[in-house]
Amino acid sequence: MDGLIRGLVDVAIGGNERRGRDDEDNSTRDERSRSSWADVVSGEEEDQNRGGGSSHPSQGRRQNVEENQWENKGERVPTRHPHKEEQEENTYAAKVTQQQDFSESQQEDNDGWETVGKKKPARQSHKVQKEQWQDYKLPASEQHYSDDVETHGNLEPSQLELSGLSEACNKLWELDSNRLVPGNDYQIDCGDGKRVHERADMAEGLLFSWVSDEVFRKPTFARFCSLLDNYNPNEGYKEVVTEEERQEQSAFIEEVSRTAVIKYLHKYLVIKDVAPGSYQEFKRMLTSLWFDLYGRGGTSGSSSAFEHVFVGEIKQSGGEQVSGFHNWLQFYLEEAKGTVDYQGYIFPRRRGEIPDSETQLLTIQFEWNGVLKSVSSTLVGVSPEFELALYTMCFFMGREENHIQLGPYNVNVKCYRLGNNRIGSAFPIAES
C-alpha cells in the first residue's frame, strides 16, 4: 500500500513538472511566434515603403519611381533631361489620377461604376501570318501595289475644313475606308476598369479576343506590321537601318499614298503652302518626317517619329518606363507574342462612359516586356494611313493640344515637335 501511494505521488509530481515545462515551452513558442509575426509585419511595411506596396522588389521600385514622376508632373530628375512630350505624358497621367482621387473622395465606394462583362480565363496567344512580309524587302520599284483609290472629286478640302482643323481631321475619319468594324473584323474584351494608381491586374484575359486574318491581307496593314520589328525597344540604343528596311519604309509610304486619306492630306497641305505640289516630293517628305533618325535618351540616331509613336520605347534612366507605344496593331502583335500584359481600362473622367467591345478610343494600362505603362490612349481599328495622316495634319497645322472631333469621339491630339521639322510624339486623349 505504501508503495502504491508513493507511486501515485511521483506520478502527480512528475505530471506537474511536465506541465510546468510544457507551459514554459508554450510560452517560449508564443513569444517566438509573436516575434516572428512582428518581423513579418515589419518586413512587409519595409517592402511597401521600398516598393510602393508591390510584392516584387524590382517592380515596386520601378512603380515608385513612376508614381513619383506622375505626381511631380514631369519634374526633371537632375541626371536626366527628358523630352517635353515625355513630361507631358507623365503630366497627363497625374491629371487623370487627381481627377479620379477627387471623384473617389466624393464617393468612397464604387457605387455607380459599371464594369464590362466578367473576367475570362487567359486565352491562347494569336498567331499572325507573316509569309508575305518578306516580299516587302524587295526594292520598292519591284513590288506590287494597290490601285490608286478613285477620288470622284470628294478629296478637295472645303472652305469649312480649311478654316478648322477639327473639320479637316473629321474628314480624314470619314475617308478612312479601311477602318475596321468591331465585332466583324475584330473583338476586344475590355475586362474591368481601374484608376491610374491601382496596380492590380483587372483583365485576366487578353484585350484582343481575335482579329480576322483578312485584316493582315490588307496591303497598308500588312506593310505597316512588317515595319514594327525593325527597331530595338530600348531607348538610347543606336538604330542600324539596313537597305532592306529602307525598302520596307519606301514601299509602305508608296502603298499608303494610294489611299484617300493621304491624297486628301496632300491636297490640304498644298493649299496651306506646307507641302510640295509634286506628289513624289510629298512622299519623300513623309518618309523623312516619319523615318529619319534623331537622338533620344542621350544617343544620336536612336529614335524616330515612327518608332516612338507606333512601336514604343523603354526608357532606362530614372527608372524603367514605357514611352510612346500608341498603336493598336503594335499592341495586338505584342500581345500575341506574350510580351504585352493588358491590365484593364482606366476609368473615364465622366461616369456612364464605360468602354465596351464597340469602343474605338481606349485609355488603358499595360505592361510591355515587364515594364509598366500606367496610362495610354489608343485608337482601335483605325487604319495605319489614317493615323499617319492625322498626326501629320496636327503636326503641320495644329498646336501642342488639338481639340478635334473624330466621328463620335471628342479627342485631344497631343503633338510635340523636336526642333522645327521632327515629330517628338503624337497621341490621342479621350475628352469628356
What are the backbone angles phi and psi of residue 112, rounded to the nearest 5°? Answer: 105, -25
Distances from the Cα of 365 to the Cαs of 57, 98, 201, 379, in angstroms?
A: 20, 17, 9, 14
Q: Which residues contact 254 (CB under 8 A, 6 or more apart)?
A: 140, 143, 145, 283
- Cell output for 30: 508564443
Q: Where are the alpha helices (DSSP H) in 72-117?
A: 84-106
Phi and psi for 345 in degrees, rounded to 5?
-90, 155
Whose grid coordinates read 510612346? 324
Among the listed residues 334, 126, 306, 315, the one whose alpha carbon sits nearest the alpha carbon of residue 224: 306
How buried is 71 (Cβ within 10 angstroms: 0-12 exposed, 13-18 middle, 19+ buried)? Answer: middle
Q: How many CB atoms lie within 10 A of CB 99?
A: 17
DSSP state of 148: P
Tally of CA atoms within 13 A in the half-sphere of 101 that contains its CB: 10
Q: Which of 326, 337, 403, 414 is catalytic?
A: 326
Give me the amino acid identity at 349: R
What cell numbers appear for 321 in the block? 518606363
Q: What is the helix (H) or strand (E) element at residue 418, kind and residue range? A: strand 409-418
**CB under 8 A, 24+ apart: contacts of 398-402:** 398/165, 400/88, 402/165, 402/169
> In this structure, are residues 305 and 290 in contact, taking their beta carbons and an 8 Å threshold?
yes
Distances (CA, A) of 316 to 84, 199, 355: 17, 20, 32
Tell me if residue 308 is catalytic.
Answer: yes
First-last CA distance in the chain: 97
Task: Tell me the three cell numbers of residue 249.
Answer: 519604309
Q: Which string of DSSP letters, residue by residue, matches 379-409?
A: E-S--HHHHHHHHHHHHHH--SEEEEEETTE
All three cell numbers of 189, joined, read: 474584351
Catalytic position from the list 83, 194, 218, 373: 373
Quote the cell numbers at residue 86: 515625355
> Catalytic pick from 83, 171, 263, 308?
308
Dihedral angle of Cα 358, 187, 225, 279, to the nearest 10 degrees: -30
Q: What residues act catalytically? A: 308, 326, 373
